[in-house]
Amino acid sequence: MGLFDFASDIGRKLFGNEDEAAAKITEHLEANNPGIEGLSVDYQDGVVTVSGEATDSEAVEKAILMAGNVEGVKEVINNTSVPIVEEIKVEYYVIQSGDTLSKLAKKYYGDAMAYNRIFEANREVIQDPDLIFVGQKIRIPLD
C-alpha cells in the first residue's frame, strides 16, 4: 500500500452517499487545512482528487492522509501545485492491532515518551493521541 492507496472500508465516516462525498471531504480538509489555498476536492468511485495551491510537499502529504483516512476512499490523486518531494525523511505506517503512539515511538526512536513527535506530525489525521484506529495511515518523521 503506497501513500496514495488506502483501505476504503475503514476510517472516519463523513458521508452517506457519493453525491455528498466531495463536499464532506472538502469540509473535513478545510477544518484543519494543512496549507492548501483554493482547495478543490473531487470524488468518484472511491477515488479522491485533491487540487489547489500548496505551500509545500508536507501540506500535500497531510491533505492526502486526511482524505485517504476517510471511510469509502481507496485512493487519493495529488493534483496540487506542489508535487510530493522528500523534504523531510518520513515513513508511512499503517496502524496495526495493539499499536499505540508510545509503542511506535519506542520502535522508531527508542523512546516511548517521544510519541508526541508522531502525534504532532499527524495532527490533521489524529485528533487525540490516545485514539488511533487499525488501518489508519500516518506519517513517521525519521530525521
| Boundaries of domain holding 47 | 18-80
Query: In the listed set 28, 47, 80, which residue is the last one of a domain according to the structure?
Result: 80
Q: Please, what is the angle between helix 57-68 and helix 18-31, to 10°?
A: 140
Is 12 contained in some domain? Answer: no
Domain tally, the chain: 2
pLDDT tens figures, 92-113: 999 999 999 999 999 999 999 9
Is 115 contained in some domain? Answer: yes
CA 55 to chain centre: 17
CA dihedral 103, 107, 112, 118 (to 10 degrees): -80
Same domain? 65 vs 109: no
CA 26 to chain centre: 14
pLDDT tens figures, 12-54: 899 989 999 999 999 999 998 878 999 999 999 999 999 999 9
